[in-house]
Chain A
Amino acid sequence: AQTVTQSQPEMSVQEAETVTLSCTYDTSESDYYLFWYKQPPSRQMILVIRQEAYKQQNATENRFSVNFQKAAKSFSLKISDSQLGDAAMYFCAYRSNPFSGTYKYIFGTGTRLKVLA
């Protein structure tokens, strides 16, 4: 069974600085999808970025980028030029290859990011 591990329960970053959130996963599959979701105090889950395992290029969305290391089964999120609005809980999530017949997503336990003014 697949697992997702976020080993940093809490991180802090100074406003305008860069921070990296870690995520590792365990799987025997070769094709899958990885996601980072943001959950601000409003509780709403918001997709930050996605990565397809078959793509070697790391995904980027504005100030958010990932470092996807397939062999190491690592999927870290880098937030550049951190803003106060980035303060939230961040969840890493894994989804199996759709052709595996499973529709399940597996979430990590989350990392709470604090942004210091």
Chain B
Amino acid sequence: NAGVTQTPKFQVLKTGQSMTLQCAQDMNHNSMYWYRQDPGMGLRLIYYSASEGTTDKGEVPNGYNVSRLNKREFSLRLESAAPSQTSVYFCASRGQGNTYEQYFGPGTRLTVT
């Protein structure tokens, strides 16, 4: 049981390049999330998907797009990377039930030069 997986683990981009961060979960969870983590700022929500077919903006959505491809997969796209998007990106999911805990992927460290 892999849980939440993210690819790639590391990426270096030049300003203006585009890329897609992939996330998949095998726990049959409905809700999925993308966060970015910056020093001294904790985790900030970029986008989330409450269920397959729906996506909503979080706290810092500018410069990003998402796709909930199916129940398992939730991708994050940077269309034109900027140095301000240098960060560690985490994908998370949450299933049904009343514990409401999130399960996190291992993160992607992205550097934009």
Task: Give residues in A with beta carbon < 8 Å to B.
Answer: 4, 6, 9, 33, 35, 42-45, 47, 50, 91, 95, 98, 103-105, 107-110
Contact = CB atoms under 8 A, between A and B. Distances in A.
B101 A43 contact: no
B99 A44 contact: no
B88 A43 contact: yes
Interface residues on B, range: 20 to 34
B104 interface: yes
B5 interface: no
A107 B101 CA distance: 13
B90 interface: yes
Find the residue from A4, A50, A107 having the highest chain B CB count within 10 A: A107
B interface, over-half SS = strand
A33 B58 CA distance: 19
A98 B100 contact: yes
Nearest to A105: B102
A103 B48 contact: yes
Contacts of B41: 109
A103 B42 contact: no
Contact of A35 (B42, B56, B101): B101
A44 B35 CA distance: 13
Interface of B: 31, 33, 35, 40-45, 48, 50, 56, 58, 88, 90, 92, 94, 99-102, 104, 106-107
A110 B39 CA distance: 9
Contacts of A6: 42
A100 to B, nearest CB: 12
Given A43-B107, A95-B100, A103-B48, A109 B40 contact: yes
10 contacts: A43-B106, A45-B92, A47-B102, A91-B43, A95-B100, A98-B100, A103-B56, A105-B33, A108-B42, A109-B42
A74 B73 CA distance: 36
